[in-house]
């Protein structure tokens, strides 16, 4: 059973940085079949795509609102995926989830992911 554990959330001021980490375990197939995505859900809003990376190729994708500010990276040896978040804004406040799945066609679509972590809270406020 695939297991995902997020860490690194917290309270920061606008303009500051934060790095989230997702530790994965329990993969039943080779890594090349998987992708990892970060999604977020703010109070009263639907869950939205933030960023994703394919384990083998390292191909990344970002939602427009975080391009140039967030960077997703993976460590295949440690099975971790980090989300480096710079220049944080109050609108980035949300619970952030990492997710993974096999043979994902579109990494931006949440329904393509099979496994989800429990989430970590990010609050950006002065």
| Confidence at residue 120, expressed as pLDDT on a 0 to 100 scale | 97
| Confidence at residue 53, expressed as pLDDT on a 0 to 100 scale | 96
| Confidence at residue 119, expressed as pLDDT on a 0 to 100 scale | 97
Q: Which residue in 90, 91, 74 sits closest to 27, CA to CA? A: 74
| Confidence at residue 29, expressed as pLDDT on a 0 to 100 scale | 77
Average pLDDT along the chain, 126 residues, taken 10 residues at a time: 95 98 88 92 96 94 97 93 98 97 91 96 97
């Amino acid at each position: 059973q695939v297991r995902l554990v997020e860490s690194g959330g917290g309270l920061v001021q606008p303009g500051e940085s934060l790095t989230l980490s997702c530790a994965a375990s329990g993969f039943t197939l080779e890594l090349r079949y998987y992708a990892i995505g970060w999604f977020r859900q703010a109070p009263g809003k639907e869950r939205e795509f933030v960023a994703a990376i394919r384990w083998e190729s390292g191909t990344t994708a970002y939602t427009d609102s975080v391009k140039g500010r967030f960077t997703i990276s993976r460590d295949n040896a440690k099975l971790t995926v980090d989300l480096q978040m710079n220049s944080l804004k109050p609108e980035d406040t949300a619970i952030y989830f990492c997710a993974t799945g096999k043979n994902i066609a579109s990494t931006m679509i949440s329904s393509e992911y099979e496994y989800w972590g429990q989430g970590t809270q990010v609050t950006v406020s002065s």
